[in-house]
Structure 1
Amino acid sequence: MRQTDAGWGAGPSVRYEDLADRFRPIFAEIRTTAVERDRARRLPHAEIGWLREANFTTLRLAPVSGGHGASLPELFNLLIELSEADSNVTNALRAHFGFTEDVLCSTSPEWRIRWIERIGSGETVGSGVSETGQAKVGQFDTVVRTRGVERVVEGQKFYTTGSLFADYIHLSAQDEDGQPVVAAVPTRAPGVTILDDWDGFGQALTASGTVHFEGVVLAPELIKPDPARFPYAMGFFQLVHLATLAGIGRAAANDVARLVAERTRVYSHGNAGRTADDPQVQAVVGRVRGNAYAAGAIVLKAAAALERAYEAHLAGAASPAAEHATALADVEVNQAVTVVTSLILEATTGLFDALGASAVKEGLGLDRYWRNARTIASHNPRIYRDRIVGAFAVNGSAPPRQYRVGTA
């Protein structure tokens, strides 16, 4: 079904429906087992494999490189649709799409050409940035050491989302002198151990657990020449979370509407002989759907700002125009965080008001919408976003370019 026919509004481009139609059968197949996989804690290895085979993981690459030449708004709209099917899968691919963006913006032609070829061939990348150790903010306990003529990785990462499904881990570390090192570590390299020990109550199927690096030898071509991330990275990674929330909202809206339509039992103090005809129940369903609609529209608006930052970067990396476009994109994403988060947390809680006590049965899996939304909303805490936007509005202060976690 076209997005417009479903009432979610037009996509971000004239060609969007044709692009999305390539993947919608896969999204539908992923959706059919989402509840069962959540209850059984079965990781989506097969589901991510289907997307890889369909070249979903190459969306941003040019067609000549095996991709679809998708714009950022097209990418984010597709991530909303994927999240409607299963938000775990979107989160598991978040690092891969971020790595792809980093490659497209790389100032090193050799690095860019090499990784466009690898991504175009279907290889994928997971996350290896965050740690839970005692490193100070902006530093890492994970170290890339020089051992003779070799570079060797030692350390441990957590929140390594998607790494169990990937061919490489996008590693952020430092050398013996404390200088940043960024590399792509093969997941099957000797000394790499990936654990599925993420025990969060939401997004449980994202493989966001621990990775140990014990004497992992890095080939020189796996170390990025410039460790800096692409300029609009913070906005990009945060907007993936917001797109995921918007997709959760759509799924919740569709489920509550279907269950209300199917419901035969009514309350004596209700307003109609059928729950589907009760105007108060209809209003609840409408509120859930309206929240999801607004969240999706906000995501696409912010995605357009990221596209402007990307285009400005291509026109002149580190130019004043590119810096300005990036700062404004970060502002737009920050402005969206609290609003989208609040809309979807309200929707995934409020949907139960349209249904009876049977709606909390595990078999329906309606609780996973709130659990997943609450988990995503806990990343990069939203409590700081309004302050950042306020500082821009009042003083013209640009948002921070990077966020790090560590000891003070």
Structure 2
Amino acid sequence: MSKSLMERVAHVIADADEALAVAARLAATFAEGAAERDAVRRLPEAELDELSASGLLAITVPREYGGADVGTATVAEVFRLLAAADPNIAQIPQSHFVYVNALRHNGNADQRGFFFTEVLAGRRFGNAQSEAGTKHVQDYRTRLRAAADGYVLDGVKHYSTGALFAHWIPVLAKDDEDKIVVAYVPADADGVTVTDDWDGMGQRTTASGSVRLDGVRVPADRVLPHHLTFTGPQLYGARAQILHAAIDAGIARGALAEAAEFVRTRSRPWFEAGVERADQDPLTVQRFGELEITVRAAEALLAEAGRAVDGATLDEPGVASASIAVAAAKAFADRAAVEVTNALFEVSGTRSALDSLNLHRHWRNARTHTLHDPVRWKVQHIGRYALTGSPPPRHGLI
């Protein structure tokens, strides 16, 4: 498959069980080359084509449009499985699922029909959302201005994960009334320039670079009134944030698994332990027990959050409870990912620090990805909810 035109229609996954089985199979394949891809920064284009062909990118398309319409708990577990193998590949389609969900929220029948067909065919959505140099993360300068035959889009976006690999790039912009809209733009449209200028120390192969939009023509039927999403109780933010939590939990599990393999096969025991192998050292065993508990707790909170979202009523109390569950999962997974990827070196010994082994990619990936949406603010919202019952804000980042 090529980015501009895929030669065959993607497989259509039938249900949650098949989605999880496909994710596990792909994760096993993607894990094999993860360290090498990171070391030389080889972008996972072939792997993303596999992901598209597998049908996983369409598992949230509603049943009436031909999709599996799986629940949030299933989507989160798919992301966790992929992230344990290669969190770069897991992060790239995060925005894809977010903007499929945006269509469910605010797309009209024609828009849903068109774009859900695209998604079922394996087409990928990227994102052009964040901007650099503005007052804060929700201060957007990109503009969608009315024109005789639709709209014209101008602006510069940064941290545009997925855009380089996308068929469609959803762009957050403000319209002539200063309201937030989403314009779905073909990646090869005139005036669109996607630059691979991402230089992060971690998540190196996400290609989270910049997108420049110079006089891009946008038909009216490719624009969604995104501002309407946040006018009432909604799970849009929770469904987006739980995917970040899943990626962090996956990073923690992948790092712990590789640490265990290293200790079993390459580490030496400390001489005072009086044992033959490193995996017999009682202090090492103790530390692995502690880390396993941490990872299992992250996974349990993630699963609980998924169930909370799937079972939530779309009123203020139901949405608040589910959003807080997701915030708790993200706050804990954030800590777990950083702790476990750091402890990898503690339990594995000096040899694990060799650059040629590239075990440090786990910590670099965790430290980079956990910068998404500071958990200290999530903890504030969790605390207020626990203490006074105050619902979290509706801004879409919790």
1:333 equivalent in alignment to 2:336: no
Assess if the C-alpha contact under 8 Å between 1:20 and 1:78 holds in 2: yes
Assess if the C-alpha contact under 8 Å between 2:84 and 2:250 holds in 1: yes
Which residue of 2 is the match for residue 289 of structure 1? Answer: 292
Which residue of 2 is the match for residue 369 of structure 1? Answer: 362
The one-letter amino acid paired with 2:153 is: V
Assess if the C-alpha contact under 8 Å between 1:291 and 1:344 holds in 2: no
TM-score, normalization by structure 2: 0.89
Residues 146, 65 of structure 1: CA spacing in aligned structure 2 closer, same or farther, 3 A cutoff? closer
Q: Which moved more, 1:17-26 or 1:206-215?
A: 17-26
Supply the distance in 1 between the matched residues of 2:235 and 2:178 (Cα, whole angstroms). Answer: 24
1:46 equivalent in alignment to 2:39: no
Supply the distance in 2 between the matched residues of 1:22 and 1:86 (Cα, whole angstroms). Answer: 15
Supply the distance in 2 between the matched residues of 1:223 and 1:16 (Cα, whole angstroms). Answer: 31
Which residue of 2 is the match for residue 240 of structure 1? Answer: 243
1:385 equivalent in alignment to 2:378: yes
Q: Which moved more, 1:215-224 or 1:108-117?
A: 108-117
Match of 2:282 among 254, 279, 283: 279
Supply the distance in 2 between the matched residues of 1:36 and 1:85 (Cα, whole angstroms). Answer: 13
Q: Which moved more, 1:225-234 or 1:170-179?
A: 225-234
SS at match of 1:213: strand
What do you get for the CA RMSD once the two structures are aligned? 2.1
Match of 1:250 among 249, 253, 266: 253
Which residue of 1 is the match for residue 191 of structure 2? Answer: 191
Supply the distance in 1 between the matched residues of 2:20 and 2:304 (Cα, whole angstroms). Answer: 19
Supply the distance in 2 between the matched residues of 1:339 and 1:25 (Cα, whole angstroms). Answer: 27
Which residue of 2 is the match for residue 318 of structure 1? Answer: none
SS at match of 1:248: helix
Give how far 1:87 is off.
Answer: 0.4
Supply the distance in 2 between the matched residues of 1:18 and 1:193 (Cα, whole angstroms). Answer: 37
Supply the distance in 2 between the matched residues of 1:176 and 1:213 (Cα, whole angstroms). Answer: 17
Match of 1:303 among 262, 285, 306: 306
Residues 51, 63 of structure 1: CA spacing in aligned structure 2 closer, same or farther, 3 A cutoff? farther
Give how far 1:16 is off.
Answer: 5.5
1:217 equivalent in alignment to 2:222: no
Give how far 1:381 is off.
Answer: 0.8
Residues 274, 286 of structure 1: CA spacing in aligned structure 2 closer, same or farther, 3 A cutoff? same
What are the ranges of 5 or more consecutive residues in structure 1 without an aligned counterpart?
1-14, 313-320
Residues 241, 119 of structure 1: CA spacing in aligned structure 2 closer, same or farther, 3 A cutoff? same
Match of 1:266 among 259, 269, 272: 269
Give how far 1:18 is off.
Answer: 4.7
The one-letter amino acid paired with 1:325 is: G
Q: Deviations over 1:44-78 (max 9, x none)?
A: 11111101001010111246645333221111111
1:132 equivalent in alignment to 2:132: yes
Which residue of 1 is the match for residue 12 of structure 2? Answer: none
Give how far 1:123 is off.
Answer: 1.3
Give how far 1:365 is off.
Answer: 2.1
Give how far 1:104 is off.
Answer: 2.7
Q: Deviations over 1:184-212 (max 9, x none)?
A: 11111010001111111111111211100
Which residue of 1 is the match for residue 35 of structure 2? Answer: 35
TM-score, normalization by structure 1: 0.87
1:172-191 aligned at under 5 Å gives the runs 172-191=172-191
SS at match of 2:201: coil
Supply the distance in 2 between the matched residues of 1:128 and 1:189 (Cα, whole angstroms). Answer: 14
The one-letter amino acid paired with 1:350 is: A
Aligned residues: 380
What are the ranges of 5 or more consecutive residues in structure 2 without an aligned counterpart?
1-14
Assess if the C-alpha contact under 8 Å between 1:252 and 1:288 holds in 2: no
Assess if the C-alpha contact under 8 Å between 2:244 and 2:330 holds in 1: no
Residues 352, 139 of structure 1: CA spacing in aligned structure 2 closer, same or farther, 3 A cutoff? closer
Assess if the C-alpha contact under 8 Å between 1:139 and 1:178 holds in 2: no
Supply the distance in 1 between the matched residues of 2:328 and 2:381 (Cα, whole angstroms). Answer: 9
1:168 equivalent in alignment to 2:171: no
Which residue of 1 is the match for residue 8 of structure 2? Answer: none
Identity level (%):
31
Supply the distance in 2 between the matched residues of 1:251 and 1:262 (Cα, whole angstroms). Answer: 17
Assess if the C-alpha contact under 8 Å between 1:196 and 1:210 holds in 2: yes
1:112-131 aligned at under 5 Å gives the runs 112-131=112-131
Supply the distance in 1 between the matched residues of 2:390 and 2:282 (Cα, whole angstroms). Answer: 47
1:347 equivalent in alignment to 2:340: yes
